[in-house]
Amino acid sequence: MDLDIRKEGKFNYIETGGSGENLILLHGLFGALSNFQGILSHFGDTYNVVVPILPIFDLPLRKVSVTGLVDHVAQFIEYKKYPKVHVLGNSLGGHIALLYVLGHPKKTASVILTGSSGLFESAMGNTFPKRGDYEYIRKKTEATFFDPAVATKELVDEVYGIVNDRNSAIRVIATAKSAVRHNLGDNLHQITAPTLLIWGREDQVTPAFVGEKFHELIDTSRLIFLENCGHAPMMEHPDVFNKHLEDFLAEVTVKTVDG
């Protein structure tokens, strides 16, 4: 499914215009739109699938933080006048989703987290390697997945481009540090929306125990592990991921209608 990025005011986003409820997809620090291609293709007609492009590289430097990105998402949802949303986040996007849900429970239909930060994450550290170290970036990108072949040259090139742009690198580091400071362990019990956790069993960034801890702290959650899978289940096992998501959304939607 080829979709153009729309630009309206300060918002850049993709929207499928499907017939069903609104499904918001929130990407991570190095998230490309290709990360969500499987979800967009599978759900684009039956749900209004929306990907707001997070302004990680566009916000004023003083506003570069997890909360700054949450504010952007909240303003976007308000701008679009969506009555309620299903919010799905991967990695940093999961962290942003959680903060949005905690701040806007009445606007939340459900939460889907996959490899989410917010409790613990082990990424690239506080600094980037020396610029020009393509091999290091390739290995780091491959380590995101159980199957290193998922890290295509296009994906590695995109991450390498960010690392080699000083302005972008500074913003990534500032956002990552902000995420570590905003640990949500003491707040997750407040989430009452139906929550689906889909985790890669071999995730090296937010390991399996992180998914288990989210499940323990969110009473309304269910946890599904995907075997032979790393930090981005929707990319490594799109068909299995979409089946679990489809079943969950159908169940949640029926309960909303009945309730």
Does 164 or 214 have the greater pLDDT score? 214
Residues in the chain: 259
Q: Determine what percent of the chain is predicted with pLDDT higher than 90.
A: 68
Neighbours of 225 (CB within 10 A): 16
Exposed, middle or buried by CB within 10 Å (0-12, 13-18, 19+), for 161? exposed
Asked whether residue 90 is domain-assigned, the answer is: yes
Q: Between 174 and 197, where is the model more confident?
A: 197
| Distances in whole angstroms, Cα of residue 193 to Cα of each of 6, 138, 188, 189 | 29, 38, 11, 11
Residues in a beta bridge with 51: 14
Count the Cβ atoms, other than its own, within 10 Å of residue 223. Answer: 17
Inside any domain, residue 142: no
Question: Exposed, middle or buried, 106 (CB in 10 Å: 0-12/13-18/19+)?
Answer: exposed
Residue 62 resides in a domain: yes
% of the chain beyond a pLDDT of 70: 93
What pLDDT is stored for residue 206 in this prediction? 94
pLDDT at residue 32 is higher than 80:
no
* Phi/psi of residue 164, nearest 5 degrees: -85, -5
What local confidence, expressed as pLDDT, does residue 192 receive?
97
Q: Which residues pair with 203 in a beta bridge?
A: none
In a domain, residue 213? The reply is yes
Highest mean pLDDT among 57-71, 123-137, 188-202: 188-202
Tell me what the pLDDT averaged over the chain comes to: 90
Total domains, the chain: 1
Which is higher by pLDDT, 137 or 219?
219
Q: What is the pTM of this model?
A: 0.92
Short-list 210, 202, 212, CA closest to 233 = 202
More confident residue, 123 or 232: 232
What pLDDT score does 129 carry?
53
Q: Is residue 131 pLDDT above 80, yes or no?
A: no
Residue 64's domain comprises: 6-120+183-258
Average pLDDT score over residue span 164-170? 83
Better pLDDT: 243 or 128? 243
pLDDT of residue 1: 60
Rounded average pLDDT over 101-112: 97
Q: For residue 139, is it within any domain?
A: no
Residue range 11-19: average pLDDT? Answer: 96
pLDDT exceeds cutoff 80 at 221: yes
Task: Count CA within 13 A, CB hemisphere, residue 221.
Answer: 24
Residue 185 has pLDDT above 60, yes or no: yes
Distance CA(191)–CA(205), nearest Å, equals 24
Coil vs helix vs strand at 201:
coil
Residue 59 lies in a domain: yes
Query: pLDDT at position 257, please?
Result: 55
Is 216 inside any structural domain? Answer: yes
Domain CATH code at residue 42: 3.40.50.1820
The verdict on residue 149 lying in a domain is no
Question: Helices 153-163 & 134-142, crossing angle to 10 degrees?
Answer: 120
Q: Is residue 246 within a helix (H) or strand (E), and if so which, with residue range?
A: helix 238-258
- pLDDT band at residue 122 using 50, 70 and 90 as cut-offs: low
N-term to C-term CA, the chain:
34
In this prediction, residue 74 has a pLDDT band, given cuts at 50, 70 and 90, of very high
Residue 141 vs residue 229, higher pLDDT: 229
pLDDT score at 165: 85
* Between 65 and 258, the higher pLDDT residue: 65
